[in-house]
Amino acid sequence: MRRIALFSDIHGNVPALDAVLADIAASGIEEVYCLGDLVGYGPDPAGVIERIRSAGIPTIMGNYDEGVGNRRGECGCYYATDQARSDGAASYAFTDAALGDADRAWLVALPGEIRLEHEGVRILLAHGSPRKINEYLLLDRRDAQLVRLADAAGADVVCVGHVHIPYHRVMTADDGRVVHYVSSGSAGKPKDGDPRAGWVELVFGASGDVSAAAPDDAAAGPAGHTDTWLGVVIHRVAYDIEAVARLMVDSGLPETLVEALRKG
């Protein structure tokens, strides 16, 4: 059996990151990957970079990392309202001022994707989608479209961040091949109504192994091979949200961003 831990979208939230890393360590998982967006919105982007860099965790570049690292003046995010756009501008300005040249250089040197393999199953780790760093693969995407994206990317299992909502979707291609999509949710800025820090666990094993190893909220299904199954476990971890909220206020970040952190 192989277990892989994925997390993403820490967004300058060191206490949330620490809680996730401690929970992963307590679970006994040694294979860990970060799917990007270390910075933005939160009060300590440099602290998050230092934690990830010191731990040596393989990490993908997120759209916020790319925007700030290259000093583009924006993060490539989608903002549905004027308030969200104003909050985004304030967040970008704060994050830009909080990072030094060494941090920026490290961010822009991160890879755009990571590819893994397990017994013939092709696994793609990306931030937004297989084709674009800031594309949102929300739950309203049609199965057929997601299968086409996976086929074009040469992947059986596609793991992404960016949407801040954890999920596991299983779909069948026209040729009968099973395709999995996994969203890692968000460690530091969830958007699913649960403010706790989040990460996901991939469990690869023989068909009888996953149900025995995974908690009740695991979802399992064939990963396109008769002897290999994939289970996905969504983990949530409590941390001191109010301490981070106070840091955000002290940093001058908008109150609307503080409330979003509290509400998840």
Confidence band, pLDDT 50/70/90 cuts, at residue 186:
very high
Residue 112 has pLDDT above 70, yes or no: yes
pLDDT in tens, 133-180: 999 999 999 999 999 999 999 999 999 999 999 999 999 988 888 999
Residues 199-217: what's their mean pLDDT? 63
Average pLDDT across the chain, whole number:
92
Q: Residue 67 above 50 pLDDT?
A: yes
pTM to 2 decimal places: 0.92
188-206: pLDDT as tens digits = 999 999 999 999 999 998 5
Show the domain range for 222. 2-263
**Average pLDDT of the residues in 101-125:** 97
Supply the pLDDT for residue 160: 98
List pLDDT tens digits, range 235-251: 999 999 999 999 999 99
In this prediction, residue 206 carries a pLDDT of 57
CATH value at residue 90? 3.60.21.10
Query: And the tokens for 97?
Result: 């001022």
Tally of domains in the chain = 1
pLDDT over 60 at 25, yes or no: yes
